[in-house]
Amino acid sequence: MNAKKMVVPIAILVMMVAAIFVMQAAAFTAPNANNDRVEFAYSEGNCNGLYVNMRNCTDPGGINDTPTLRIYGEDNVSAAFPYTDPEGPFDPMNPEAPGKDFVVFNPAYIGEYDYGGVITVSGDNGREKTFVRQWYVPRYPEPRGDVWTHQDTKYSADIVTEYSYMLLNAQNKPAPGTAQQSGTSTYWTNFWLPIGSDGSQIGLDSFQIEPGTGTDRMVQLKGVGDYNGDGKKDINITTRDTLLISHFGWFQFLDHAINVTDLAYDSSGHIIDAVVDLYYIGNDNINEVTTDDLIVSGLHLDIGGKQVVAGRHTYAMGADPSFTLPWYLEVESIGLQGVYLNVGRLLHTRETFFVDGAEYDIAMIYGPNTDDLKYITIRNPVPKYYSVELDDLSIVKTPVQECDEDPDNIDDVIPMLPPFNMNHKIVDDIGIPHYKHGLGDTIRDEPDGIKSCADKVEKRIVTNQPPFVSYFVDEDVETRFKTNLLEILDESDPEGWNMLCTWTLPWRYTAMVYPDVGDMTCGSTPVPDADFLVTTSGPANYTSPQPECIGDLNDDGIRNFDDVLVIVANWGPCSGCSEDLNSDGYVNFADALVIVANWGPCP
């Protein structure tokens, strides 16, 4: 920064520091509220609700009126990563649940034969549920999980959507599955997991991995173990079926893709191998890959030959998949109709991987035994407004934009993993008919109070749900949460007045628009129109753990004028930088005030 430009901010900051020190020595104190109560300012002239609003609240009859829901977030407060409690991804009251506001959706349901597949769990008939919840993190650390090389943490304001794909038995109860039938070579657990991306939204968007065929593909559990030696459960998955690729064509699976470009023949005219180009598609979908995404071209794959493993920039022949080379491919045969391939990938608990500009953080892989899988939890943090460049990984995360009244614009729509982004079924789990509502002020939530029309999963299934479309329309702070009250009686000696300054956190929010979701029926009994469960952090006033030393920007163990100079040197707009202490997207006086408020040695 030009030295002349720094003079005015420094001078003003010096005056501000002096003024604040004088105020602290005045006859009244100004502590922040630190109790478990929520305080906010109110005026009859403000028609905005703290949570639920109309898009245009001054014109209730206007055509642009849309119900919106605010989700409040604070700093980098999120859910546990990874989870250590198997109930963590499901119980809103669990200590590992998101620490601030979050929204629980009705889960999606996939029947045994839906989408042209057959779900099996350890050889038995199976079903699948996909649980979803969503929250807002103003400073989400990216990448969140383990990656293949070092990457400095970047921070971004993200909308986080978390999915838990759970296996069920024929009675719709949670059921773990093993990879192989004991004593045989039979693989017998097959289920649905998103594995394709074609550009219809940011990131993974389908079960289809062969462009243009319209064929959905299941995955098969090939192994369960600890493949990177970190003491956490990992899985090995492949496509259930051997894949047929036409003589020339594309094929994708999660974060890699191949293009079959040629077939090699021997002197007798027999096909002896396939020639492919291998791509990494962490930045782009299969329809947008460039030479920047190419790992190797002209790769010869012998029939029944050595397995090819691949990572972000590298590949190896004849090696086993590993954390840095998790994706693998093998040609099984080549016939008159095309190339037959087997393809798979390792997925690790606490891993972060990328597909088509989207980040996926594996928060939990759980099964009650060492060799089985009951569910996998995948977290998708999507940045708002601005892309996030992870330079050391050569990854650029694609942001979602504030809605511009055109929900058909894919840049405005919050991406949803399958099956939510396609025609799907849900299980109505929220607001179901329950006749034991309470005894006085004591709530009863025993399951024996559920009405007979809703006491089984199959009775609460709602079919023909359209693709789930949601978007955000605003990002701001609720200034009514930051206020004060003067002239509070102070009976100490000498007698005087106190001042109470209150700042209820979180105060930063994202305003979301959610669709109307179908509800179960219960004969003539009214069923509440309850599509989402919103859990807030309001009355509990839970705040995030404070950083070890707030405002010590030069890490010298003390908050002083040297740290103020760091603020001045980085003055102006910024996204996710460490000098933006209040996470408002700017380095300015407000950040200097944070230093002053914490002036002195670190604790």
- pLDDT 10s digits, 131-157: 999 999 999 999 999 999 999 999 999
Integer Cα distance of 535 and 538 in angstroms: 9
Count the residues in the chain.
603
Phi and psi torsions of 3, nearest 5°: -60, -35
Q: Which pLDDT value is given to residue 48?
A: 80
Per cent of the chain over pLDDT 70 is: 84
Q: Concatenated DSSP letters for 239-288?
A: ESSPEEE-SSEEEEETTEEEEEEEEEE-TTS-EEEEEEEEEE-SSS-TTS
Whether residue 489 is predicted with pLDDT greater than 80 in this model: the reply is no
In the structure, what pLDDT confidence band is assigned to residue 198 with cuts at 50, 70 and 90? confident
Number of neighbouring beta carbons within 10 Å of residue 22: 9
- Residue with the larger pLDDT of the pair 602 and 206: 206
Residue 224 vs residues 87, 177, 220: alpha-carbon distances, Å: 20, 10, 12
Alpha-carbon span 174 to 260, nearest angstrom: 40
Q: Which residues contact 484 (CB under 8 A, 6 or more apart)?
A: 30, 499, 500, 501, 502
Please name which of 374, 11, 405, 23 lies closest in space to residue 166, comparing C-alpha atoms.
374
pTM of this structure: 0.82
pLDDT tens profile 340-356: 888 999 999 999 999 99
Contact between 341 and 276 (Cβ < 8 Å): no
Q: What angle do CA 77, 78, 84 make, to 5 degrees?
A: 125
| pLDDT over threshold 60, residue 315 | yes
The mean-pLDDT minimum among 271-275, 288-292, 558-562, 599-603 falls in 271-275
Residue 32, pLDDT above cutoff 50: no
No. of helices (H) and no. of strands (E), the chain: 3, 39
Over residues 367-384, mean pLDDT: 97
**Average pLDDT of the chain?**
84
pLDDT at residue 550, as a whole number: 84
- Alpha-carbon Rg for the chain, nearest whole angstrom, is 28
For 61-198, list the strands marked E by DSSP.
67-73, 102-105, 108-110, 120-121, 124-142, 154-169, 177-178, 190-191
Domain positions in the chain are: 558-601
Which pLDDT value is given to residue 426? 96
Percent of the chain surpassing pLDDT 90? 50
Going by C-alpha positions, the residue among 400, 399, 386, 203 that lies closest to residue 288 is 203
Of 419, 81, 367, residue with least CA distance to 223: 367
Token output for 473: 């329309």
pLDDT at 387: 93
Of 466-470, 499-503, 585-589, where does the model show the most confidence?
466-470
